[in-house]
């Protein structure tokens, strides 16, 4: 099996496990554990906390350890987490469900960092946009199917079946990781400063680089809004929108449709449009999506209007940001020196995903105290800030891709 093909297989299995766990968690908490918005916010925060707590040390591991071995350990952890989640749901232990969510996400963190850092050694620089798009297309397809499948299983069987399928995806990823040749790991020994110094070197590079700094600030605002939205989606769908679990999952699946279309268009748009246009469009269209979510509750009863508006909102949140993600991933792969690749990606990933627990907590708390409309206003403001960051940064003047470092 070719290394990139094996990497695609690992991506398919890992994202299947991750997206199913992401979609199954709120259904399990709401339908089986009776969790309210505040408890649900805590559980989503636990799932997303791995991106905050694990990313920086994982970046140093990626630059130090054989990447195949690192993937095998991480994906084994993901498999164990899926099994633990089934046990937690069956026994009603909320704390164990949170631990399993954190452990499973930790395996995903290591995979994402390893794949992004490994890819520039597998393909030429001019092939990065297409290869990044193929990897993201895998995630997009899974994101389209996972919420609907999780909702269908929850309505007709049990939410725990979503975790069972997640375990299957983790096992598939592990098998593909074992098929990666050992030569796919870094061949040279990485420099060995102290662990803290190694992490700090990556963070300092990002802070000094004006393009990476702008990407990180935009990502902080956008992901805060996205996970606030994720935390309140189940109460919004099952409450004011009066959706059953199947239609809730179907509306959320529009997010995956947006991701797929974005990943398919990205290779073409990267050739036809200057980078700054894509980098502004991604967060900008998210503001429009937030407006659709704000209008959805008032459209309940008008021939499924609430469902339609929510589905459009999910689609837009997937489509524009997918174009942005592929573009900014290519930018940071090009501007980062190879010896720093793992740590720089870890720093940016911490900015992109590390704010997720804060967004989930904020969404749940605001919804509990000020209502779901108050939380949706918070989400719209955060999406607007992510767009403003790009407009005011040097990224808004990036007319061609930077030269490879």
Highest-confidence segment of 118-132, 215-229, 257-271: 215-229
What CATH number has the domain bearing residue 380? 1.20.1250.20
Residue-level pLDDT at 276? 92
Nearest in space to 355 (alpha carbons), one of 34, 33, 28, 55? 55
Q: Does residue 402 fall inside a structural domain?
A: no
Percent of the chain scoring above 70 in pLDDT: 92
Q: Does residue 404 fall inside a structural domain?
A: no
Residue-level pLDDT at 7? 83
Q: Does residue 188 fall inside a structural domain?
A: no
What is the spatial distance between Cα 323 and Cα 277, in angstroms, rounded to a whole number? Answer: 10
Using an 8 Å Cβ cutoff, are 381 and 286 in contact?
no
Helix, strand and coil in the chain, % to nearest 5: 85, 0, 15
Residues 56-80, mean pLDDT to the nearest whole number: 84
Q: Residue holding tokens 């940016």?
A: 348
Q: Residue holding tokens 């290591």?
A: 110
Q: Does residue 214 fall inside a structural domain?
A: yes
Please count the residues of the chain.
Answer: 405
What is the spatial distance between Cα 247 and Cα 237, in angstroms, rounded to a whole number? Answer: 9
Residues 73-84, mean pLDDT to the nearest whole number: 87
The torsion of the CA quartet 219, 264, 10, 360, rounded to 10 degrees, works out to 30
Q: Does residue 405 fall inside a structural domain?
A: no
Nearest in space to 179 (alpha carbons), one of 14, 18, 7? 7
Using an 8 Å Cβ cutoff, are 396 and 276 in contact?
yes
Q: Does residue 153 fall inside a structural domain?
A: yes
Q: Does residue 12 fall inside a structural domain?
A: yes
Packing angle of the helix pair 210-238, 37-53 (nearest 10 deg): 160
For 185, the token pair is: 């790991």
Domain membership of residue 135 as a residue range: 3-183+193-397
CA angle in degrees (0–180, nearest 5) for 113-18-144: 110
Residue 295 class from Cβ within 10 Å (0-12 exposed, 13-18 middle, 19+ buried)?
Answer: middle
For 160, the token pair is: 């725990």
pLDDT above 90: residue 378: yes
pLDDT above 80: residue 195: no
What is the spatial distance between Cα 350 and Cα 22, in angstroms, rounded to a whole number? Answer: 18
Render pLDDT for 105-137 as a digit per residue (tens, 0 to 9): 888 888 888 888 777 777 777 777 788 888 888
Using an 8 Å Cβ cutoff, are 123 and 29 in contact?
no
Q: Give the number of domains in the chain.
A: 1
Residue-level pLDDT at 183? 55
Q: Residue holding tokens 């060995």?
A: 192
Residue 7 class from Cβ within 10 Å (0-12 exposed, 13-18 middle, 19+ buried)?
Answer: buried
Please give the mean pLDDT across all residues of the chain. 83
Report the predicted TM-score, pTM, of the whole model to 2 decimal places. 0.72
Nearest in space to 64 (alpha carbons), one of 206, 200, 191? 191
Q: Does residue 322 fall inside a structural domain?
A: yes
Candidate from 142-156, 220-234, 364-378 with smallest mean pLDDT: 142-156
pLDDT above 70: residue 167: yes
Give the residue, 49 or 260, on which the prediction is more confident.
260
pLDDT above 80: residue 324: yes
Render pLDDT for 129-150 as a digit per residue (tens, 0 to 9): 788 888 888 887 887 777 778 7
């Amino acid at each position: 099996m070719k290394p990139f093909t094996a990497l695609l297989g690992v991506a398919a299995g890992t994202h299947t496990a991750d997206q199913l766990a992401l979609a199954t968690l709120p259904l399990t908490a709401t339908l089986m554990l009776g969790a309210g918005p505040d408890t649900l916010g805590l559980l989503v925060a636990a799932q997303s906390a791995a991106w905050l707590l694990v990313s920086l040390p994982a970046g140093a591991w990626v630059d130090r350890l054989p990447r195949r071995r690192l993937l095998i350990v991480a994906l084994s952890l993901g498999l164990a987490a899926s099994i633990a989640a089934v046990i937690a749901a069956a026994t009603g232990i909320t704390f164990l469900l949170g631990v399993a969510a954190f452990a499973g996400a930790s395996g995903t963190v290591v995979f994402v960092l390893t794949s992004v850092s490994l890819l520039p050694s597998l393909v030429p620089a001019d092939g990065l946009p297409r290869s990044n798009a193929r990897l993201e297309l895998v995630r997009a397809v899974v994101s389209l199917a996972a919420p609907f499948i999780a909702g269908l299983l929850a309505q007709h069987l049990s939410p725990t079946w979503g975790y069972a399928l997640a375990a299957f995806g983790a096992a598939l990823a592990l098998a593909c990781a074992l098929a990666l040749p050992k030569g796919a790991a870094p061949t040279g020994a990485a420099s060995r400063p102290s662990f803290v110094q190694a992490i700090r070197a990556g963070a300092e590079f990002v802070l000094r680089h004006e393009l990476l700094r702008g990407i990180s600030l935009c990502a902080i605002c956008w992901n805060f809004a996205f996970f606030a939205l994720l935390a309140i989606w189940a109460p919004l769908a099952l409450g004011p929108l009066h959706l059953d679990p199947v239609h809730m999952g179907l509306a959320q699946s529009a997010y995956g449709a947006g991701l797929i279309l974005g990943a398919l268009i990205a290779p073409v748009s990267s050739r036809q449009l200057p980078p700054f246009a894509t980098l502004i469009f991604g967060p900008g269209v998210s503001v429009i999506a937030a407006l659709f979510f704000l209008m959805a509750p008032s459209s309940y009863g008008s021939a499924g209007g609430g469902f339609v508006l929510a589905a459009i909102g999910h689609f837009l949140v997937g489509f524009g940001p997918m174009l942005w993600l592929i573009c900014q991933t290519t930018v940071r792969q090009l501007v980062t020196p190879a010896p720093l690749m793992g740590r720089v990606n870890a720093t940016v990933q911490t900015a992109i995903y590390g704010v997720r627990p804060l967004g989930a907590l904020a969404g749940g708390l605001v919804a509990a105290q000020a209502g779901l409309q108050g939380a949706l206003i918070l989400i719209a403001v955060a999406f607007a800030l992510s767009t403003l960051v790009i407009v005011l940064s040097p990224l808004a003047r990036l007319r061609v891709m930077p030269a490879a470092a």
